Amino acid sequence: MKRLVELLIMPPMSLYLGVLCGLCIRFVANRLPEPRPMLRRMGTSLAALSGAVLVALSIPQVAFWLLDSLQTSPAISPTAESIDAEAILVLSGDVDCDPPEFGPDQPGPISLQRCRYAARLSTRTGVPILISGGVLRPDRRAVSLVLRDFVQDELHVPVRWTEERSHTTRENARYSAEILARDGIRRVAVVTHAWHMPRAIEVCKAAGLVVLPAPTAPATPPANLRDAFVPRARSFRDSAWAIHEWIGRLWYRISA
């Protein structure tokens, strides 16, 4: 049910439904025995507004504004040789299932960025890594195990802990805190994307952790005016991530 609700309220599905509903309202209004201009205008406005938002979300400058509204934590200096943390907590992201060129599951693009930065941060500071992420599908390994193998086998950086039960960011924090508590650890450097960091900080603090934000891959503004306002599919994806984060933060506060 949760997945269905998320599908319906997130773009693009919610906007497609808005266009469809608007057209249906207009169609019904045109076929009523008596003219209903207000109902017809309502349908037209709903369809037009939904379509306009679809276009707006694909504009790079709009996508940047949405993501940048979430990027409130500065990056750790790339020359820092020590950090005020006892562990590096990596929040897992996506996974590529059974890629034909690799065979076993591999980290997806989002997970790759987080793993790469965590590995570099750990190598530079000597702080050990915990990767958090549970099973996405019953026939798959936990995401944290897929990421652990990548970090250790390809980046050649050890991973001290893995958390394999979580399915949400809130559970990432809760179960990771339990693992770290066994070693008396509370201070963590949280590695995730810059636009995901606000929600990550909130849940980690709620789980009793002392957080040092370690954001990676921040969104950057378009390079020029042409790039800023020419619609792109990638920009729509970026806008959807930002909207997902804002809705996620609101839901976590309501359901806390």
Q: What is the pLDDT of residues 176-198, one digit of tens each?
A: 999 999 999 999 999 999 999 99
**87-216 placed in CATH 3.40.50.2020:** no
Q: For 92-140, write each residue's pLDDT tens digit.
A: 999 999 999 999 999 999 999 999 999 999 999 999 999 999 998 888 8
Name the amino acid, one letter, at 147.
L
Alpha-carbon gap, residue 200 to 192, rounded angstroms: 8
pLDDT at 51: 97
pLDDT band at 159 (very low <50, low <70, confident <90, very high): very high
pLDDT surpasses 90 at 236:
yes
Does the pTM exceed 0.85? yes
> What local confidence, expressed as pLDDT, does residue 138 receive?
84
Q: Which residues contact 137 (CB under 8 A, 6 or more apart)?
A: 97
Tokens found for residue 247: 């809705």
SS3 label, residue 187:
strand
* Vertex 219: Cα angle to 218 and 221 (nearest 5): 135
DSSP character for 143?
H
Q: Which of 16-25, 33-42, 75-84, 238-247 has the weakest average pLDDT?
A: 33-42
20-68 per-position pLDDT tens digit: 999 999 999 988 888 788 999 999 999 999 999 999 999 999 999 999 9
